[in-house]
Chains A and B, each alone.
Chain A
Amino acid sequence: MWKIFNIEVYKIFRRPRTYIAFAAITALIVIIQLGLYVDGDSYVDFLMSGLKDSFDFQGKILNGYLVCYILLQLLLVHVPLLIALVAADMISGEANMGTLRLLVTKPVSKTSFMLGKFLAASFYTLLLLIWIAFLALAVSTWLFGTGDLIIQKNVYVVQISQDDVFWRYAGAFAFAFLAMLAVTALGFFLSVFSENSIGPIVATISIIIFFTIMSTMSIPLFQHIQPYLFTSHMVNWKEFFDEKLDVSDNVIKGSIQNVQQLYNSAIVLGIYIVVFVSGAIIIFKRKDILS
């Protein structure tokens, strides 16, 4: 399996299309950072407009931590597309190139083959997220400095002390990796069914869009199934950015408001990953390679 993993990682990073994702992410993040650098105060005024009738804010609201949060909110909705480009190509791409039939005739078990490929796709996902973390967090804090993080949720505002923020980002990125791994697993699963990459890529993105719509619409019918959709859980990295209060309504530093929600979401995402990958392996082992 590790032999396959090494070979697959080598192949992934030899293809120009892999770097498109990194370039696209970089361009997006840089443009947003530039915009905020030039005109961030106006954006902050807009963000805070709901509160400014009652409150004055002193201190650096527009800091690297807030910029990172804004970037994650915008990007993590679109990163699945970039992941699908690689994950949904893992098997179908080989079939399309005609290399699948040569690979399967090599003395490697089909299970190891599939696991090695999935791990390689996961590694790509991990590197993509690390790159996002570097640009969104490290570069933003370098450009904008650090400070307390103020986040507006639907019904309340959360302010997190700057010395209480970093570990939350570490947790959020780890959770986001798990969420993106679910996307990777879905793309990988769909890749088994096709001999060209376009179909699985489009199918992966379509499913994510469809499920995301179902996850976000407040229709009673959808609300029954929302807890079971992986897209409902993918956004819960945000739970790292909410704090508990004690009985005197004092913020408990280092706390997470809804830890159980995080665990539940992580478990749901983990189940989806296992189901998709297992399904891909079982189907591949039974499949006739006719390409």
Chain B
Amino acid sequence: MKLLFPFLVFIFSLNTVQAQDAATLVSKLKEKLQKVHDYEAAGVLKTDVAFIKAPAGKIIVYYKSPDKFTLKRQGGISILPKGGMNVNMASMMSFDYLAIDAGEAIVNGVNTRVIKLLPKDETSELILSTLYIDPLKLLLQKVITTTRSNGTYEMLMSYDKYASYGLPDKMVFSFNTKDYKIPKGVTLEFNDADKADMEKMKNKKGKVEISYTSYIINKGVSDALFK
């Protein structure tokens, strides 16, 4: 009994220290990412959904602090998951949140700290955001976000040349899709599809991969680009 109280104090302190570590880690990451005020990034976007055959296409991504983001395909059509794809790192943390340490995990062979961000605003569109942060390099390896309107999606990042800015070379954005249904009167195809195709189409996960080839960082981006 004499030992219980100090033990409980120790545990509570530990949690407090860890909680502080979680918030601190997120803050440090945020601080690093906020060094990028704007960028223009060239890349290739590939939409990978079971029932969509779409070729990869060249894109340009524009970001301007604090939350202006747009993705433009150079000619052609982009098929993006509903709700847009705001894949900007800094915006992951641009809301009032409570940071909770959720342990550790290995992502892409990297040891990461798992930190859950709970929005303080109960009416927020965002319900929960789970960050997988490489604490040594201060890089966001993975984010899992749950929203009210658009369900849950996951972002997986890999870094190379632009790691010092916290900007990924490759990002994979995974999401759930609804069944693809279209009346035959629109397609004017009256034959039933191949059974193998039908089976394949049941996969309800979709992915968007962006491979960035270059970033132009902090050189200024016009507001007109975001209209």
The reply to whether A and B meet directly (CB within 8 Å) is yes
- Interface presence of B51 (CB below 8 A): yes
- Interface presence of A155 (CB below 8 A): yes
8 Å CB contact of A53 from B55, B73, B82, B189: B82
Q: How many residues of B contact A (CB 8 A)?
A: 42
Interface centre among A153, A158, A253 (most CB of B within 10 A): A153
CB distance from A71 to the nearest CB of B (A): 12
A59 contacts B78, C-beta separation under 8 Å: yes
Q: Mark A150-183, 1 if CB is under 8 A from B, else 0.
A: 1011111111111010000000000000000000
- Interface presence of B193 (CB below 8 A): yes
- Interface presence of B98 (CB below 8 A): no
A277 and B60 alpha carbons, distance in the complex (Å): 57
Selecting from A21-29, A84-92, A111-119, A243-251, the interface stretch reads: A243-251
Do A58 and B178 form a contact, CB below 8 Å, given A73-B188, A153-B189, A157-B51? no
Q: Mark A116-127, 1 if CB is under 8 A from B, else 0.
A: 000000000000
Residues on B with beta carbons closer than 8 Å to the beta carbon of A217: 190
8 Å CB contact of B53 from A52, A73, A157, A218: A157
Q: Mark B35-54, 1 if CB is under 8 A from A, else 0.
A: 00000000000101011111
CB distance from A110 to the nearest CB of B (A): 41
B53 contacts A251, C-beta separation under 8 Å: yes
B56 contacts A159, C-beta separation under 8 Å: no
Of chain A, the residue at the smallest CB distance from B71 is A58
- Interface presence of B68 (CB below 8 A): no
A250 contacts B79, C-beta separation under 8 Å: no
A152 contacts B80, C-beta separation under 8 Å: no
Q: How many residues of A contact B (CB 8 A)?
A: 43
Of chain B, the residue at the smallest CB distance from A53 is B178
Of chain B, the residue at the smallest CB distance from A50 is B182
Do A253 and B55 form a contact, CB below 8 Å, given A152-B186, A155-B180, A155-B198? yes
Interface centre among A57, A73, A152, A217 (most CB of B within 10 A): A152
B184 contacts A159, C-beta separation under 8 Å: no
8 Å CB contact of A159 from B55, B81, B82, B83: B55
- Interface presence of B6 (CB below 8 A): no
- Interface presence of A285 (CB below 8 A): no
Residues on B with beta carbons closer than 8 Å to the beta carbon of A215: 190
Residues on A with beta carbons closer than 8 Å to the beta carbon of B193: 153-155
Q: Mark A47-59, 1 if CB is under 8 A from B, else 0.
A: 1001111111111
A58 contacts B48, C-beta separation under 8 Å: no
A: residues with CB less than 8 A from B are 47, 50-61, 73, 77, 147-148, 150, 152-162, 164, 215-218, 235, 238, 242-243, 245, 249-251, 253
User: Could you show 23 A-B contacts with beta carbons less than 8 Å apart?
Assistant: A47-B186, A54-B206, A55-B79, A56-B82, A58-B71, A58-B78, A77-B188, A148-B76, A153-B193, A154-B191, A154-B192, A155-B51, A155-B180, A155-B201, A156-B50, A156-B180, A156-B201, A157-B79, A162-B75, A162-B76, A216-B191, A218-B192, A253-B55
B: residues with CB less than 8 A from A are 46, 48, 50-57, 71-73, 75-84, 175, 177-178, 180-182, 184, 186-193, 197-198, 201, 206
